[in-house]
Structure 1
């Protein structure tokens, strides 16, 4: 694994996942039942890839800071960096969504009026801890990941510094938990429907929190496994990364493959982190890498555009009798989202990090750095 340099392939796959989430939100409702429809509907799993990738990067960057669990000084430094990374853009887009709801009455039949509890819980990032909704839809995953950060020292102590013999039972437990979550009826998760069994995002229940913690913990285990020579050799083989990418892409088109896909994500990230496969080189290319740098902005900016502009643009296309109006509006608004993300990255994300004294200019999530000898 390279040392003292960015793992560009992991930045790139974050960008690809962000675009997949956007495409999913635009097109999943109209997707058919064929292979293409299944692929698009599985786009929600890109968020689970984010969770696994986040756990891997946190273990890489901060795993050595918590060999005995919680310690005040390193925990404070860790939370300061994470808060600076996620909060400025999160809170700006959340209040932007609140303002848009106030001025755009056309969405009031689809989005209920936010209560004071909703607003306050969003401000303090706890809304998805079985409390309520997010002002900005994708904010549910930011809230759950913030909980994972608070749990990180304990998770690091158990999964990164605990006995290796505990890893197989943990993997079995993680698979069982995901299977159970996927079997829950819609009434239990407070959703009328979901595009896949693990499409759990309603903050009134604790299920999204469990979904995040399992994915995040799988990322920690993936990093722990890189300390094993046999894993490093297998993952460094050029064909491993390409085989795993191909398997994931094929399974995306297969209905009911959700659990298998999530369990493949840790191995996929481990293989891409070595940078030896053709897939890793493709994901490291400048355009895809740039999408990765912008991925957090893309993720949080796309939803208000989808909510407030897409229905109007689709209605214009329908009025003009243009075929596939929603597809046409997506073809226009997705590039608009990327362009707007350039602005939010420059004028919100980067200044926000400086305001909260964050260190890396491009952010530890978008451009993880491998520290020499950092394997737990």
Structure 2
């Protein structure tokens, strides 16, 4: 059976959740800008737990996908579902890889990115085309030296796992009962706690390489948040909450900004914090955010702007950050001197994301929806 785009029109969003996704995306940009000044020591990282934004995104994804699609499967085919997800996600994947390729040689640094200068144009082109298809690069094909599955745009690793989550949802999880989801969520939470407490780093940082250890981290980070998001949507019963966007934004910023706990000697303490944030605090934020309502125009505009910008800024900021990293390392620039350029990186990332949103992503998605939603 065929259904038109109007029959499968996008449901109303939870505007506060959209806004919170934008808040977390902005925190990721700040986290990455400051990361180069930690010298690879996570205990010295400013906005220390910014990496947990990815786990928050996975939780939001599970909740929102449950909201958007759980009651549509009598009207929508698997093919239509995958088309809709590709239209929503893939244009910015392509744009992020393109920007990554354009910025690539500007990020040359023998100390930091030792493979960049010697990478040929043809190899760069192959890696870019693989990135367009979201096909991960194996370690022998690395062109930067960080062993990333997407060396032109590192954060795309989370989209690799997002696509896997979408596939598993469409084929299996959409049919799961609340009890089955609850059991799977509990088991994934238990594994997450075990991993974070026993991991050699005392955190959930990782997931961006195609090797056994990094894939284990990636699937560990994906499993609980996505399952918990689906479960939370199934059992969701809202409460009345005033100023939900403000208070939830404060919570997100605070959770991601907490300094490293336990130092090098008590890594398990930070592992407990990571697990607590993912298993308890983030679901609480999503529950409160989904319960809240917006009663003034300023908050509504803020949530709309942040929600629309969240995905583009996440997908375009890191190619620029690579160049910033190389400049800092090549010239041995301390934070005290580098902060104006770091601020410029932030501003340029926001501006570029906005331009990509308005001039590329939204028009292209609109066109694709008109052309591609039919079977």
Q: CA deviation at 1:327?
A: 2.6
Pair 1:200-2:206 in alignment: yes
Pair 1:141-2:158 in alignment: yes
CA–CA distance in structure 2, aligned partners of residues 81 and 281 of structure 1: 31
CA–CA distance in structure 2, aligned partners of residues 54 and 93 of structure 1: 20
Deviations 1:21-53 (A, max 9, x none): 000001134369xxx967701011111111111
CA RMSD in angstroms, aligned pairs only: 3.7
1:108–1:87 distance in 2 versus 1, CA, 3 Å: farther
Q: Of 111, 124, 132, which aligns to 1:123?
A: 132
Q: Of 342, 353, 357, which aligns to 1:345?
A: 357
Q: TM-score, normalised by structure 2?
A: 0.74
Query: What's 1:155 paired with?
Result: 173
Pair 1:287-2:302 in alignment: yes
CA–CA distance in structure 2, aligned partners of residues 335 and 268 of structure 1: 27
Q: TM-score, normalised by structure 1?
A: 0.74
> How many residues matched?
327
Mind listing any 5+ residue stretches in structure 1 that lack a counterpart? 187-193, 360-376
Query: What's 1:298 paired with?
Result: 313
**Contact kept? 2:28, 2:53, Cα under 8 Å:** yes
**Contact kept? 1:54, 1:216, Cα under 8 Å:** yes
1:240–1:333 distance in 2 versus 1, CA, 3 Å: closer
Pair 1:92-2:104 in alignment: no
Q: CA deviation at 1:236?
A: 3.0
Q: Of 83, 86, 91, which aligns to 1:83?
A: 86
CA–CA distance in structure 2, aligned partners of residues 39 and 66 of structure 1: 44
Query: What's 1:259 paired with?
Result: 275
1:315–1:29 distance in 2 versus 1, CA, 3 Å: closer
Deviations 1:205-253 (A, max 9, x none): 3221342233222111110111xxxx43xx4355988776666555542
**Contact kept? 2:22, 2:310, Cα under 8 Å:** yes
**Contact kept? 2:309, 2:354, Cα under 8 Å:** yes
Query: What's 1:216 paired with?
Result: 226
1:65–1:11 distance in 2 versus 1, CA, 3 Å: same
Q: Secondary structure at the match of 2:48?
A: helix
Q: CA deviation at 1:157?
A: 1.3
1:298–1:74 distance in 2 versus 1, CA, 3 Å: same
Deviations 1:167-203 (A, max 9, x none): 54333212112123324645xxxxxxx6x61112222
1:350–1:185 distance in 2 versus 1, CA, 3 Å: same
**Contact kept? 2:103, 2:320, Cα under 8 Å:** no
CA–CA distance in structure 1, aligned partners of residues 87 and 283 of structure 2: 26
Pair 1:12-2:19 in alignment: yes
Q: CA deviation at 1:346?
A: 1.5
